[in-house]
Amino acid sequence: MYDYCKNVHVVDHPMIQHKLSIIRDKNTGTKDFKDLVEEISMFMAYEVTRDLPLEEIEIETPICKTKAKMLSGKKLGVIPILRAGLGMVNGILKLVPAAKVGHIGIYRDPETLKPVEYYCKLPTDINERELIVVDPMLATGGSAVAAIYFLLQRGADIRNIKLVNLIAAPEGIKAVTEKYPEIEIFVAAVDERLNEHGYIVPGLGDAGDRLFGTK
Ligand code: PRP
Ligand code: URA
């Protein structure tokens, strides 16, 4: 893992990069795309949860009593940005099965590229949880900025929010970090730029359409 800039971590593990290259390929079909997004998300969750606190407990092995480390029970929430963020949820939950899942529905208006909120259902205690906001693509950053804003409006603490994307454009990273400099972002790759339609280049195309087989 290396830092692209302050608070932006690129999880460049070979397993992740290999799988990312497969989902970038336009010939990869819906089923493989969906499975690989889930797998990459699980690998990324490993780094995202690296700073979870541990506590020491006493256990007894077949040999003797000993002290051992266990997660100290910090509450987590996974917040997919609908629709494409849904594809990342199961991968994260494989690592942290007790996390609650909240949903924020946002789509990008294809003309203005501005985010439009259409759904929001969150765990009631989001102010007590560490929140992992997931969306495969960080393009202009509009959707991520809006999702973080909705979480803050509903009582979340910015220091407890992490944003996890598979592919980011430099423009999206700039937009999020300028608005929320405290937030930590985890990405598998930072691509070159956005094209004139707001798509990431080279990217992987429309993540939602490729996950759900729509056009
Ligand atoms: C995609 C993607 C992000 C957003 C990124 O969603 O999943 O949510 O675009 O773009 P931005 O950084 O410029 O906001 P889209 O709006 O296509 O909706 P979908 O998930 O329903 O396909
Ligand atoms: N949303 C996507 O799904 N892909 C992009 O490249 C940009 C936004």
Looking at the domain assignment, is residue 118 inside a domain?
yes
Ranges of the chain whose pLDDT falls below 50: none
Q: Which of 30, 66, 112, 214 is catalytic?
A: 112
Question: What is the enclosing helix (H) or strand (E) of 56?
Answer: strand 54-60
Q: Say what percent of the chain tops pLDDT 70.
A: 100
pLDDT of residue 170: 98
pLDDT of residue 114: 85
Going from the Cα of 147 to the center of ligand 1, the distance in angstroms, rounded, reads: 11
Ligand 2 pocket test, pick from 113, 173, 199 with the greatest ligand atom count within 8 Å of Cβ, gives: 199
pLDDT of residue 111: 87
pLDDT of residue 145: 96
C-alpha of 51 from chain center: 16
Looking at the domain assignment, is residue 3 inside a domain?
no
| pTM of the full structure | 0.95
pLDDT of residue 113: 83
pLDDT of residue 61: 98
Looking at the domain assignment, is residue 2 inside a domain?
no
Give this complex's ipTM. 0.97
pLDDT of residue 17: 98
Looking at the domain assignment, is residue 59 inside a domain?
yes
The burial class, CB within 10 Å (0-12 / 13-18 / 19+), for 140 is buried
Q: Which domain holds residue 85?
A: 8-212
C-alpha of 89 from chain center: 9
Q: Is 130 in the pocket of ligand 1 (CB under 6 A)?
A: no
Helix ranges (DSSP H) in the chain: 14-24, 30-48, 86-95, 142-153, 170-179, 207-212
Token pair listed for 167 = 């592919």
Task: Supply the CATH number for residue 81's domain.
Answer: 3.40.50.2020
Looking at the domain assignment, is residue 43 inside a domain?
yes
Give the nearest ligand 1 atom to 207 CA.
7
The domain tally of the chain equals 1
**Structure confidence by residue, pLDDT tens digits, 72-83:** 988 999 999 999
